[in-house]
Structure 1
Amino acid sequence: MLKSLLTVAGLCLLSMAGIVTFSMLGREFFLLPIPDDLLLVGLLMVGVIALPAAIVERDDGHIAVTVATQWCPPRWRLACDIFGKTLMLLFFGGISSAVALSLPYEFTSGAYLDGELEIPTWPAKTVFCVGFVAFS
């Protein structure tokens, strides 16, 4: 499942690049940019950031501040690691649950973002929720 999240994040990144490229070319040569291009790129950024977070955490690829703990004995380092992961779980788990609880309203309200395309808000929030639930 985590590899598929990484694949979707990569597709989001490629889509962002395509939107920016084609919008710029359309604006430059045809005076027709892609409508709401900046909004679309911002929404795709949610997938680029939230979806691969679980793989980064699993592989210990995240940025960690170890200046204070590198001189500690191994037992202390383990205790600090457990403490840090517990805090991370509480913080990101809380954010994930808050977003998950708001999703039914997003589906039923019909809320959308201002712009020519009137993009609904629920897809970006769903992607964020899936990414951070997997991360937690």
Structure 2
Amino acid sequence: MLQTVITAGHRVLGGLERCLLVVASTALVMIAALILIEIVGRWLPILRIPDNVIIVPQLMVVSIACGLGWVTGRNGHIAIDLLYRHMAPRWQRVCHCLALAAGLVMAVPLVIWVTEDVATLYASNSFYFGELKLPEWPVRTAFLLGLLALAARLCLQLAGLLAGADDPVPGDAGHEG
């Protein structure tokens, strides 16, 4: 029963992560386009985007944060596993559980802090300085969604390992292809 719930959670989260991955990819394309326009604008002064130095870093935050859950679900983070590969499977499982728990120790306080930050920014209607007066809360909300997907993925992987699954992310969890 628990394994069925965990697998369903992986499927739902896989769908959310794919949506966030589209947002992250779109942000990267927008960064490339803005930089290209900025370079061409050096020769053609008519092509000028105000607040480019504000927009590009904010899009970078969106592109990184929105991809965190997806990368975690595919075990795509950088890992140094020289010692890990020589351990017995039981100790590998213990190390994996410890790594997931450490990730949660990092992610949960961040989620709480960013949630409070987004609520404060939305209530205060804060804007970035510049010509366009862009609001601050949309970027922080995207950051929050990325962190929530990461924390949920870590929780599901840890629950799967503790429930006895060999693979913390089943193949039918929405990450195929």
| Same-fold call, TM cutoff 0.5 | yes
Larger CA deviation: 101-110 vs 20-29:
20-29
Is the 2:51–2:131 contact (alpha carbons within 8 Å) kept by the matching residues of 1?
Answer: yes
Larger CA deviation: 115-124 vs 26-35:
26-35
Hey, what's the Cα distance between the residues in 2 that align with 1:2 and 1:103? Answer: 20
Alignment of 1:26-105 (within 5 A): 26-30=41-45, 32-105=47-120
- Number of residue pairs matched? 136
- Give the 4+ runs in structure 1 shifted more than 3 A: none
Hey, what's the Cα distance between the residues in 2 that align with 1:102 and 1:25? Answer: 37
Query: What secondary structure does 2:84 align onto?
Result: coil
1:108 correspondence with 2:117: no
Which amino acid in the other structure matches residue 29 of structure 1? L
Identity within the alignment, %:
29
Larger CA deviation: 51-60 vs 15-24:
15-24
1:121 correspondence with 2:136: yes
Deviations 1:71-126, CA, capped at 9 Å, x for gaps: 21111111011001011012112101110122211101121222222221111110
Hey, what's the Cα distance between the residues in 1 that align with 2:111 and 2:59? Answer: 18
Query: What secondary structure does 1:114 align onto?
Result: coil
Hey, what's the Cα distance between the residues in 2 that align with 1:2 and 1:77? Answer: 26
CA RMSD of aligned residues (A): 1.3
Is the 1:24–1:33 contact (alpha carbons within 8 Å) kept by the matching residues of 2?
Answer: no
Q: Which runs of 5 or more residues in structure 2 are unaligned?
A: 1-15, 152-177
TM-score by length of 2: 0.72
Q: Which runs of 5 or more residues in structure 1 are unaligned?
A: none
TM-score by length of 1: 0.93
Hey, what's the Cα distance between the residues in 2 that align with 1:118 and 1:61? Answer: 37
Report the alpha carbon displacement of residue 32 of structure 1 after superposing the two structures with TM.
4.7
Q: Which has the higher contact order (CA 8 A, sep 6+)?
A: 2
